Structure 1
C-alpha cells in the first residue's frame, strides 16, 4: 500500500529536492510543489513528492496514528526497499 506520510525536511538540495526523514529513514525527494521550505519543516510525502507543508503537531499526531494501526512500519519498510512512500 502506498500511503502519504509525514516527513521532516533534514536538508535542502539543489534542483527542487530535499532529504527528508520518515521514522528514521532518510530519502531524497522532490519538494518542487511546496514553496519556501526550511530544514525542520514537515511535509506530507507521497510517491517521492512533498505535497504540502504541515505543522509539527499534525505530523506527530499522524505518525502516532499510523504507528497505532501498523502502517508506519510498512511505510518505513517501503522507503528502505527503495520505494517512494
Structure 2
C-alpha cells in the first residue's frame, strides 16, 4: 500500500528538501513544485512533494495517522 503524507519542509537545497511529520524527518524531492519553500506543508508520495496542503487539513491527517498507529505493537 502506498500512502501520501503531509509534511512540513524544514530545509531546502535546490529541489531536495528535508520534510518533517509526526516526529519523523526524511528526504523528498520538490521537482514537481518549483515554488516550494521552507515552511510549506506539502503532500509527499513516493519521495516527491506533489502539492501543497492546507495546514488545517495536514493537522487532521497527522491526528488520524497517529490514532491508526497508537495501538500497534512496537515491532509492527
TM-score, length basis structure 2: 0.80
Q: 2:44: which partner in 1?
A: 45
TM-score, length basis structure 1: 0.73
The structure having more radius of gyration, on CA atoms, is 2
Distance 2:36 2:62 in 1: 20
Deviation at 1:17, TM superposition (A): 1.2
Q: 1:12: which partner in 2?
A: 12
Greater helix fraction, Structure 1 or Structure 2: 1
Deviation at 1:55, TM superposition (A): 1.6
Alignment RMSD: 1.8
Q: Where do residues 59-74 of structure 1 align in structure 2 (5 Å cutoff)? A: 59-70=58-69
Q: How many residues align?
A: 71
- Structure 2: gaps spanning 5 or more residues: none
